[in-house]
């Protein structure tokens, strides 16, 4: 009943608060024999790290990960891997003003109501800082995938910021790493830069949509009916701070399609594996991977900490107006890209292990042969 | 690692295939002292039952539930409750044609690949028939809620079928039970009737969107950060057959909002509890209920079994054309309404028990007082 | 948090009361492709069935198992297997006298205190009748083992009844099926027959010790440090009704040994696998199987339902004397033999699946090679 | 499927190796509002700390615990509590000799076979050093019990070392803290001192029996049938390094009793609660606490690292003789006393939370009233 844990066989427990001494991930169930170093994990943390450009919070954290257990002579041992990140920049004085007032749209008030504890230092456990631990765990998951299923490739990118979406016709995989928004559409990137500049100056924030794609995932992963691959992905993405919607393949738009339109027709590929005419399904049928790309999208709401005055109440029950100063992201969705990738990596690895336990055989080996 | 189970303390395991002798739900963790009878559960099963109007499958099942354990003298005992539904109409001969061919958009092919078993009898475990067991469990959850938190009211309804959405200005709670689509918009209901008639005649199908609202849910429910109330709801809804997207509150549209727009401002109500100016959050902040209505939406893709010819392959690897005869729903989303309600009931009850275990106190009692 | 479930990947949930309409086991996680029939499971149920000789309760139950799901054309499909046993002989009138009085040494009083429900009909869920569901699940586990690890052989037998233990020098595997006590010592069997006759006539009961051995278990099974093979076996055996102690290998007597005596010396066998000079460890080191016989022992306390008058109180709080009439086992330990075997089968299978998920490779394949 | 975790609602995950940089416990599910400091936990760690007298290993570890998360202003917040202990004395050079040879009776060989990793530095994860993390978690559990159920008192003590048991007639609670063996029998303590001196000089080791008693535990705790209080205690104790047997109340000796002897007769106490004439049951009936003392015993085998020469093999498959130098406990059972107490504290707390979630009401409140 560990509610700070996710995963079945690759099980990640995150711990730590925004302004405590440290935070981290206790990862249980990583297979032995996976080559891993701190710098391999650091690579992904650096991608998420705040303060890298003017579109993300100016809080500066080294976000240096230490491996405290589970690794010996450069390889995992099969025992729990403890990944710790010390908090270095804990300027909690910035938050003095919100010790009493609840921020509209923020978890301040519900944490207070539930736990009766007001950890006003940057949101405590509800802070997006918790996602650093997810990214660290995701780095380990990627390393394990590199050993067990090297053909799996996981890439996240932004498709929408506020009213501005990408143009799929301009989709370019190579563009993703070339702009601060990890978007495959260079034109959109330029547009967003201007748009966010304006927002930031006005002290406002905005939501975003992130898409994460896993390519090279073998058919057969997923554990119907309550550990379906899409079920676990939906939970993984919805658990990320500020996420309000999750879609697989066509997502909500599937409601608008007819059965004829939605049917991804099946052909036999040259390698004897099924080939599909389209991917409305997002790579998952009946909760099980088809071998096509796994496509997940999620929407992140705008940061609730803004410079715009909003009505609220205090812990003492008084009406108040609140303006949240401090260092916040005008679009927290940007930093959600590596987080979404990390969750995808963890879920895919977990289901590879689970499939192996339930069905046996090598990864990517399916029981039912076609042809 | 029970992948046919969901819930933490109120734990439901469903079992059974579309055309086996029976199916059901093994419910573990129902509190003792809940008044329950078979007819109380039957009420909800009847709502979901196929063959009730021309818009749902013509398969006729009595769907009579039997309580085999866990209830003594009209009350739950605290031991597992076994809810069994016998299959009576198992005309599996209808399915002969698809024993070899895989239906595009259906789990046929992935189940075969994963398990190496071809239970062609109506989809076996991947059939939407499995949801009858969920509805039975949901009936028990509702009975437990009636005892523990009688103010909780759960209502599902359709908001969209194909291109036709409801008009929120015509929203009428009382209308929901008055039409075969459980929609609060009487005008939309009439429109949909025509639209579906046309689709059915042409042998096609269509997707839909269902919204489920829980009113009267106390503040403080939800277990951050991986057992958040919205995380569990996302998983619950995504696990339903054919669901491709899940939204909380604003959902995907949250991406389009600014922080200023999205902030549900807070005021103090006459009863000393917080009152919000709006509910963009869908009743959940930081994974914890605010006391507002919990609002969840999910999209159901169109039924994959259609009379339209589609290209596919056979188990033997041959190219083929498939037309799926048999008794299918032109809009499986209709029957998903009571299923969504059932999942909501189970999740809310589960989190009431979990909150009690973690925090203590009566249901609806929060640790942090305001004012 | 399913407390009526055990196992990690092979997960068994038992349900049902002594005098309800039925009881059974919902088994989730059985691998697909296991050949299974009702009669294969019935074989083990018949071994446990009451009323077979004068040393066990005279309640007569057909104990016929039905497979309601998860099996298609004689093979498991990978979906949940529902094993149901209907109760036929529910003479609950016999129990009238104990509806009010609590039996000393029985769960009557604690179930009442915990749940506030008095299911006086034969103990309800606390009845040893629940173990029939375990034996059914164990039958399925044995069938899966026959496919996955055919060299595994599981045998239980009694080693002690009251003050009378077996003589290890007379240990004869072939004798076990030849007497009503499943004991390998024919002389002890004769002794026990006389002893139990006397006890039964005097209306008394007695405890017993059962030993269960698994031969042919590959090295490497077990998941340190809280899913150790011995940890799971201890939990499995302690969960059986009336069990008060569990031992692995030397068990409690290990306290009396020196390190020199206890060290099972290691040699290299002809097949390149380790061979041990002795088996004080009971086949488990550090929670992981060594490849030697797994040896578990457990003690069953005497049946609490006896004809001897004991002091007790009523539900209403009145002092009372109680004599429990009805059909009870003078030595409930006898029927615990097949139950212990079933638990062993489930645990071994579960750890084979878990090992496969965590480490990969074929069953019995270990990662570390010696030599 | 976290195999380095235990507990249902109070969930402890331990991590770390004997000679890595640190080890610790990630505790999820501790209720909010529990007063806790590092020194409260340190108290229990100091009790377990090695090198305190000549009867335990001379390895010197500061064993200083740091709280890295989950505590704010001296109180738990309801979020995960990270308890970290840095390893300071990692003289791994002492272990050079055993990098190749497997110690008979030690987990060296099975860890190698399972994981294919040879962490020869003091046993890695299989080292008894892991129990420091349990003791830290147990310290937190005790603090939570002090808030939730202050009447609960947990005490462990030794009852047997090798052939020398205590005399129950000399049992004196006050004696337990007065000798290095935590034994209630002062005469036995003196005897054991002599006996262990001899053993240590000869380079041998010996087993022991520890008894842990929880007084003041309310009736009604325990979750039949696979989360019984005794089932969880058996698993908890068997998971401790070197434990080979677990007993509840009469334990294995229950096999020798008749039903008449074993029945703890019931009377009504002055406070309206049941009073028992004896406690053969060890405070648990049907897996649920009776309100009597909970009595658990476990046997610890002798340390396998001894100076006596034993036959073994090397990783390379060569026959060899082994003598384990280094700093080891002649009787590792001594340090198991605080570990057993810690496990008891965690299990009791966990079941208090679970009972609250399942049944509701205050701790110690039962649903069924007597009288």
* Model confidence pLDDT, tens digit, residues A44-77: 999 887 666 777 666 667 899 999 999 999 999 9
For the cut 60, the answer to whether the pLDDT of residue C94 exceeds it is no
**At CA D92, angle to CA D91 and CA D95, rounded to 5?**
125
**How confident is the model at residue C242, as a pLDDT?**
96
In 3D, which of C65, C66, C86 has the Cα closest to residue C19? C86
For the cut 70, the answer to whether the pLDDT of residue C58 exceeds it is no
Residues C2-19: tens digit of each pLDDT: 699 999 999 999 999 998
Shortest CA distance from C67: residue in chain B: B21
Please, which pLDDT band fits residue D325 given cuts at 50, 70 and 90?
confident
- Whether residue A116 lies within 8 A of chain D, CB to CB, comes out as yes
For the cut 60, the answer to whether the pLDDT of residue B92 exceeds it is no
* Contact call for residues C171 and C185 (beta carbons, < 8 A): yes
For the cut 90, the answer to whether the pLDDT of residue D120 exceeds it is no
- Whether residue B320 lies within 8 A of chain A, CB to CB, comes out as no
Q: At D212, is the secondary structure helix, strand, or coil?
A: strand
* Contact call for residues C344 and D299 (beta carbons, < 8 A): no
Q: At C368, is the secondary structure helix, strand, or coil?
A: coil
In the block, tokens 């049907």 appear at: D286
* Contact call for residues C29 and C7 (beta carbons, < 8 A): yes
* Contact call for residues D130 and A79 (beta carbons, < 8 A): no
| C13 → closest Cβ in B22, B28, B75 | B28
- Whether residue B3 lies within 8 A of chain C, CB to CB, comes out as yes
**At CA A201, angle to CA A197 and CA A202, rounded to 5?**
120
Least confident span in A250-264, A357-371, C287-301, D75-89 = A357-371
**How confident is the model at residue A272, as a pLDDT?**
84
Handedness of CA A106, A107, A110, A111 (dihedral sign): negative
C33/A358 Cβ within 8 A: no
Mean pLDDT of chain C, nearest integer: 92
C77/B124 Cβ within 8 A: yes
In 3D, which of A333, A361, A40 has the Cα closest to residue A162? A333
Please, which pLDDT band fits residue D320 given cuts at 50, 70 and 90?
very high
**How confident is the model at residue B359, as a pLDDT?**
87
| A258 → closest Cβ in B114, B204, B261 | B204
- Ranges of beta strands (E only) in A78-207 are 81-86, 153-161, 164-165
- Whether residue C253 lies within 8 A of chain D, CB to CB, comes out as yes
Task: Give strand pairing partners of C321.
Answer: C311
Q: At A348, is the secondary structure helix, strand, or coil?
A: helix
- Whether residue C21 lies within 8 A of chain A, CB to CB, comes out as no
Least confident span in C67-71, C290-294, D93-97, D150-154 = D93-97
Alpha helices by DSSP H, listed for A202-332, are: 229-238, 259-262
- The whole-angstrom distance between D277's CA and the closest CA on chain C is 9
Q: Is D48 annotated as a binding residue?
A: yes
Q: Is A126 annotated as a binding residue?
A: yes
* Contact call for residues D115 and C288 (beta carbons, < 8 A): no
What is the C-alpha separation between A206 and A308, in angstroms, rounded?
13
Contacts of B33 in chain C (CB under 8 A): 115-117
- Whether residue A271 lies within 8 A of chain B, CB to CB, comes out as no
- Whether residue A110 lies within 8 A of chain D, CB to CB, comes out as no
Task: Give strand pairing partners of C164.
Answer: C161
**How confident is the model at residue B19, as a pLDDT?**
87
Please, which pLDDT band fits residue C93 given cuts at 50, 70 and 90?
low
* Contact call for residues B145 and B35 (beta carbons, < 8 A): no
Please, which pLDDT band fits residue C51 given cuts at 50, 70 and 90?
low
**How confident is the model at residue A252, as a pLDDT?**
98
Residue A204 CA: distances (Å) to CA of B262, C281, C283: 11, 67, 65
- Give burial (CB, 10 Å; 0-12/13-18/19+) of B191: middle
For the cut 80, the answer to whether the pLDDT of residue D268 exceeds it is yes
Contacts of D115 in chain A (CB under 8 A): 32-33, 77-78
**How confident is the model at residue D117, as a pLDDT?**
87
Shortest CA distance from D351: residue in chain B: B357
| Residue range B122-136: mean pLDDT, rounded | 93
What is the Cβ-side half-sphere exposure of residue D132, based on CA atoms within 13 angstroms? Answer: 27
Contacts of C14 in chain B (CB under 8 A): 80
Least confident span in B40-49, C55-64, C254-263 = C55-64
* Contact call for residues D292 and C292 (beta carbons, < 8 A): no
- The whole-angstrom distance between D1's CA and the closest CA on chain B is 6
For the cut 60, the answer to whether the pLDDT of residue B25 exceeds it is yes
A244/B247 Cβ within 8 A: yes
**How confident is the model at residue D91, as a pLDDT?**
58
Shortest CA distance from D77: residue in chain A: A117
**How confident is the model at residue D2, as a pLDDT?**
63
Alpha helices by DSSP H, listed for chain B, are: 38-48, 108-115, 131-148, 186-201, 229-238, 259-262, 333-359
C77/B115 Cβ within 8 A: yes
Chain D interface mutation, best of B227, B360, B363, B369, highest count of D Cβ atoms under 10 Å: B360
In 3D, which of D241, D237, D212, D243 has the Cα closest to residue C254? D243
Contacts of C304 in chain D (CB under 8 A): 259, 262-263
- More confidently predicted of D243 and A19: D243
Q: Is B186 annotated as a binding residue?
A: no
- Whether residue A229 lies within 8 A of chain B, CB to CB, comes out as no
Residues A169-219: tens digit of each pLDDT: 999 999 999 999 999 999 999 999 999 999 989 999 999 999 999 999 999
Shortest CA distance from D77: residue in chain B: B359
- Whether residue C234 lies within 8 A of chain D, CB to CB, comes out as yes
- Whether residue A126 lies within 8 A of chain B, CB to CB, comes out as yes
**How confident is the model at residue B105, as a pLDDT?**
93
- The whole-angstrom distance between C123's CA and the closest CA on chain B is 12
- Whether residue C70 lies within 8 A of chain A, CB to CB, comes out as no
Q: Is A66 annotated as a binding residue?
A: no
Contacts of B15 in chain C (CB under 8 A): 26, 28, 68-70, 79-82
**How confident is the model at residue A50, as a pLDDT?**
66
What is the C-alpha separation between D78 and D72, in angstroms, rounded?
10
Q: Is C228 annotated as a binding residue?
A: no
| A15 → closest Cβ in D1, D4, D69 | D69
Q: Tell how far CA D353 is from the center of its chain.
A: 20
**How confident is the model at residue D39, as a pLDDT?**
97
What is the C-alpha separation between A237 and A251, in angstroms, rounded?
14
What is the C-alpha separation between B154 and B342, in angstroms, rounded?
9
* Contact call for residues B262 and A204 (beta carbons, < 8 A): no
- More confidently predicted of D100 and A41: A41
Contacts of C356 in chain A (CB under 8 A): 356-357, 360
C14/D109 Cβ within 8 A: no
What is the C-alpha separation between C25 and C138, in angstroms, rounded?
10
- Whether residue B33 lies within 8 A of chain D, CB to CB, comes out as yes
| D31 → closest Cβ in B1, B79, B359 | B359
For the cut 70, the answer to whether the pLDDT of residue C287 exceeds it is yes
Alpha helices by DSSP H, listed for chain D, are: 38-48, 108-115, 131-148, 186-202, 229-238, 259-262, 333-359
Other beta carbons within 10 angstroms of residue A169's beta carbon come to: 6
| A317 → closest Cβ in B207, B357, B371 | B371
Q: Is B69 annotated as a binding residue?
A: no
Q: At C2, is the secondary structure helix, strand, or coil?
A: coil
C357/A353 Cβ within 8 A: yes
Please, which pLDDT band fits residue D363 given cuts at 50, 70 and 90?
low
State the ipTM, two decimals.
Answer: 0.96
In 3D, which of C11, C3, C39 has the Cα closest to residue C349? C11
**How confident is the model at residue C357, as a pLDDT?**
92
What is the Cβ-side half-sphere exposure of residue D173, based on CA atoms within 13 angstroms? Answer: 7
Handedness of CA B219, B221, B223, B224 (dihedral sign): negative
In the block, tokens 């499943």 appear at: C182
B207/A116 Cβ within 8 A: no
* Contact call for residues C154 and C47 (beta carbons, < 8 A): no
Q: At A114, is the secondary structure helix, strand, or coil?
A: helix
Neighbours, chain A (3 or more CB pairs < 8 A)? B, C, D
Residues A250-303: tens digit of each pLDDT: 999 999 999 999 999 999 998 888 999 999 999 999 999 999 999 999 999 999
Mean pLDDT of chain B, nearest integer: 92
Please, which pLDDT band fits residue C123 given cuts at 50, 70 and 90?
confident
**How confident is the model at residue A95, as a pLDDT?**
60
Q: Tell how far CA C259 is from the center of its chain.
A: 31
- Ranges of beta strands (E only) in chain C are 5-6, 11-16, 22-28, 65-69, 71-72, 75-76, 81-86, 153-161, 164-165, 208-215, 243-248, 266-268, 274-276, 284-285, 288-289, 294-300, 310-313, 319-322
- Whether residue B105 lies within 8 A of chain C, CB to CB, comes out as no
Q: Is C244 annotated as a binding residue?
A: no
For the cut 60, the answer to whether the pLDDT of residue A124 exceeds it is yes
D359/B357 Cβ within 8 A: no
Shortest CA distance from D11: residue in chain A: A2
**How confident is the model at residue A16, as a pLDDT?**
97
- Give burial (CB, 10 Å; 0-12/13-18/19+) of D172: exposed
Percent of chain A residues past pLDDT 70, beyond the cut: 92
Please, which pLDDT band fits residue B51 given cuts at 50, 70 and 90?
low
Contacts of A29 in chain C (CB under 8 A): 358
| D68 → closest Cβ in A9, A16, A77 | A16
| Residue range D361-371: mean pLDDT, rounded | 71
Shortest CA distance from D225: residue in chain B: B79
What is the C-alpha separation between D169 and B194, in angstroms, rounded?
89
Neighbours, chain C (3 or more CB pairs < 8 A)? A, B, D
């Amino acid at each position: 009943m560990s509610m700070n844990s996710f995963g079945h066989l690759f099980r990640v427990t995150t711990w730590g608060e925004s302004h405590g001494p440290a935070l981290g991930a206790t990862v249980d169930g990583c297979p032995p024999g996976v080559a891993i170093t701190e710098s391999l994990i650091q690579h992904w943390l650096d991608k998420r790290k705040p303060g890298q450009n003017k579109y993300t919070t100016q809080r500066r954290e080294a976000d240096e990960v230490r491996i405290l257990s589970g690794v010996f002579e450069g390889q995992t041992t099969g025992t729990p891997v403890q990944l710790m990140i010390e908090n270095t920049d804990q300027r909690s004085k910035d938050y003095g003003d919100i010790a009493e007032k609840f921020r509209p749209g923020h978890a301040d008030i519900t944490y207070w109501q539930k736990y009766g504890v007001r950890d006003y230092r940057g949101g405590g456990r509800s802070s997006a800082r918790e996602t650093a631990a997810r990214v660290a765990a995701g780095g380990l998951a990627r390393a394990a995938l590199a050993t067990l299923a090297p053909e799996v490739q996981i890439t996240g990118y932004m498709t929408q910021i506020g009213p501005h979406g990408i143009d799929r016709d301009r989709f370019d995989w190579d563009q993703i790493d070339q702009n601060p928004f990890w978007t495959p559409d260079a034109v959109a990137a330029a547009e967003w830069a201007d748009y966010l500049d304006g927002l930031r100056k006005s002290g406002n924030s905005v939501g975003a949509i992130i898409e994460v794609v896993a390519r090279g995932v073998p058919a057969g992963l997923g554990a119907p009916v309550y550990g379906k691959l899409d079920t676990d992905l939906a939970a993984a993405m919805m658990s990320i701070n500020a996420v309000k919607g999750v879609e697989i393949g066509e997502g909500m738009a599937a409601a608008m399609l007819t059965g004829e339109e939605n049917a991804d027709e099946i052909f036999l590929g040259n390698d004897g594996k099924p080939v599909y005419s389209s991917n409305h399904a997002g790579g998952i049928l009946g909760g099980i991977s088809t071998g096509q790309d796994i496509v997940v999208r999620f929407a992140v709401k705008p940061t609730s900490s803004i410079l715009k005055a909003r009505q609220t109440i205090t812990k003492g029950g008084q009406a108040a107006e609140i303006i949240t100063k401090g260092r916040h992201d005008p679009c927290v969705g940007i930093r959600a890209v590596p987080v979404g990738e990390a969750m995808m990596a963890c879920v895919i690895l977990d289901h590879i292990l689970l499939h192996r336990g339930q069905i046996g055989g090598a990864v990517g080996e399916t029981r039912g042969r076609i042809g």
